[in-house]
Amino acid sequence: MVASDEVRSAGFARRVAVHLHLLMCKHCRRFAREIDLLGRVSRSLPREDLDLSAEAEAVERVMRRLQQPPPGS
């Protein structure tokens, strides 16, 4: 829920429940901090134009590889 940002759009009771859980669970607090950090870092990176042809070629290579029989079969 924290990772998908559903907390902000959730109702009051759900937000309080998540907040209380984060107060008690050190693992989830750490996870929430890591997700927050990843979001801030990714938003601070410069946006570069994506080469869509490279993406299409990569998808094509993966699809071809998936259609091949597994090695040793």
pLDDT at position 2: 62
**pTM for the full model?**
0.53
Which residues does the chain have with pLDDT short of 70?
1-4, 49-50, 73
User: How confident is the model at residue 20, as a pLDDT?
Assistant: 94
Helix (H) or strand (E) holding 49: none
CB 16 within 8 A of CB 22: no
